């Protein structure tokens, strides 16, 4: 490894980007220590955490004194800094550009559209005690369907993963977002065989780390189902 010191990561695994970082670290074997920052308890607003990230968001990474925020930047840094398989963030310019193309698109498409479904169906009702706003949820689901159409037609097409023949950081970011509505019992890929097959390939590629990373989300799904 390029550094003898363990990478320190600050995560809440109910957060989609945190799960993506966690999966990359688990799959690549980069020595690291996970520090849990429970957003629901406000641990992201403590003075010590705010000093690391004034935005008070997770994930945060610290590597031998170098502090980095934002999951996309963290995953690309780790893939470049450490000796990990090239497919995670390819060195070849065209292949790397395909990953960058998806991750740039992800921030204004997959991420907000999948997250909004979860927020409207699970998070806001829990926080406010109000019923689900079905009109807003319907609009959010419609936006997400358009995003899923693009994922199939623009990125997957006839290739097994979003950016080519091998899994990359792009697939981790995407799958963690698309798993998030499952916290409310909604599988947004249920009617999408092509994306279901892609999710199965991602899950197979990362192995047991997939379910470990999503254990908190599965538990939330069970609690949500028990209240219905």
So what's the pLDDT on residue 3? Answer: 41
Query: Cα-atom radius of gyration of the chain, to the nearest Å?
Result: 17
Query: Would 212 be classed as within a structural domain?
Result: no
Say how many domains are in the chain: 2
The three-class DSSP label of residue 92 is coil
Domain interval for residue 38:
7-84
Q: Which of 84, 117, 148 is the last residue of a domain?
A: 84
Report, as ranges of residue numbers, the positions in the chain whose pLDDT lies below 70.
1-4
Task: Tally Cβ neighbours within 10 Å of residue 2.
Answer: 10
Residues 68 and 105 in one domain: no
Residues 35 and 111 in one domain: no
So what's the pLDDT on residue 4? Answer: 56
Q: Which of 50, 84, 118 is the last residue of a domain?
A: 84
Residues 31 and 123 in one domain: no
Residues 107 and 203 in one domain: yes
User: Which pTM was predicted?
Assistant: 0.96
Query: Would 215 be classed as within a structural domain?
Result: no
Strands (E), the chain: 7-11, 32-36, 60-63, 66-69
Q: Within a 13 Å sphere around the CA of 127, how many CA atoms are in the beta-carbon half?
A: 9
* CA 86 from centre of chain: 20
So what's the pLDDT on residue 227? Answer: 81
């Amino acid at each position: 490894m390029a550094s003898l010191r363990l990478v320190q990561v600050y995560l809440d695994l109910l957060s989609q980007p945190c799960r993506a970082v966690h999966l990359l670290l688990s799959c690549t074997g980069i020595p690291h220590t996970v520090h849990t920052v429970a957003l629901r308890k406000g641990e992201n607003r403590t003075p010590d955490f705010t000093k690391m990230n004034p935005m008070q968001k997770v994930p945060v990474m610290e590597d031998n004194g170098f502090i980095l925020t934002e999951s996309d930047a963290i995953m690309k840094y780790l893939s470049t800094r450490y000796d990990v398989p090239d497919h995670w963030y390819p060195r070849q310019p065209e292949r790397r550009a395909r990953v960058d193309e998806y991750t740039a698109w992800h921030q204004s498409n997959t991420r907000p559209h999948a997250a909004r479904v979860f927020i409207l169906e699970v998070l806001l009702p829990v926080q406010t005690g109000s019923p689900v706003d079905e009109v807003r949820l319907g609009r959010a689901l419609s936006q997400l369907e358009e995003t899923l159409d693009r994922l199939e037609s623009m990125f997957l097409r006839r290739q097994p993963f979003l950016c080519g023949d091998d899994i990359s950081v792009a697939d981790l970011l995407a799958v963690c977002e698309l798993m998030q509505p499952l916290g409310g019992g909604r599988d947004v890929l249920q009617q999408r065989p092509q994306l279901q097959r892609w999710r199965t390939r991602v899950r197979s590629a990362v192995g047991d780390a997939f379910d470990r990373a999503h254990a908190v989300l599965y538990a939330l799904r069970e609690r949500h189902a028990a209240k219905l």
